[in-house]
Structure 1
């Protein structure tokens, strides 16, 4: 076990900013950028060697958001519908998700959002991808 701790000590300086709970907005923004990069790298591949890191970083972000933002107890699709209503958007305005049929299936709960769609929505609405996970 001591060997494991020594290994961790050797790399901790490089990892501490992404494996620690963010306490400031600056730290939060940095870790969200890391999450975006991990999503790009890992995609939907649950067997990717960085998939556990993606999950861990997502959990850290979620913890920060739960402490610092009012979180509606809503499913991702409900959040999307709310954002659409707030921005006066229609299904046609969500072409970033795919065809109008795909958008309809997503909004009706017949299809889940994939990683690409989650990233596109996060970019469009300028919010954390974790809102759609």
Structure 2
């Protein structure tokens, strides 16, 4: 199979890139201020794009989130947190009590999870993840 890449004039890329860079302000994250600016922009794009993966700005969102991930990998230490602590945190952030999560697991199970007497099952983790719109891996 013969794959050919079309020849692109670097001057044409520069002509498109400079207005984009001026508008966005940050195209690679080097400082905390850059990171904060990109995070704000990502939030604006998320609000505009919503769940539309075909939105024309989806590629820009992807590009910026990759930049954020690269910066985080190098500069941000994320401590290991026990799943019960994650659940407790999410409950506090959403103002929820154990009884508010009975659609995810029985209240007695939630109590045992928070007390450290029981782990979070895969099924419950999926339900918590859906409820809080997070990755289920947070609960393992």
The TM-score bracket by the shorter chain reads 0.5 to 0.7
Greater relative contact order (CA < 8 Å, ≥ 6 in sequence): 1
Which residue number corresponds to residue 121 of structure 1?
A: none
Q: 1:109 aligns with which of 119, 122, 126?
A: 126
Give runs of aligned pairs for residues 21-100 of structure 1, distance below 5 A.
22-71=29-78, 82-85=85-88, 87=89, 89=91, 93-94=95-96, 100=101
Q: Distance in 2 between matches of 1:42 and 1:28?
A: 20
Question: TM-score when scaled to structure 2?
Answer: 0.55
Shift of 1:42: 0.7
Cα deviation 1:38-88 (Å, max 9, x = unaligned): 11111111001111111111111111111111135x7xxx78753444x49
For structure 1, list consecutive stretches of 5 or more residues without a partner in the other structure: 119-130
Residue 17 of structure 2 corresponds to which residue in structure 1?
8
What are structure 2's unaligned runs of at least 5 residues? Answer: 1-7, 106-121
1:100–1:54 Cα change, 3 Å: same
Cα distance change, pair 70–103 in 1 and its aligned pair in 2 (3 A): farther
With the length of structure 1 as denominator, give the TM-score of the two structures.
0.57
Q: Which structure has more helix as a fraction of its residues?
A: 1
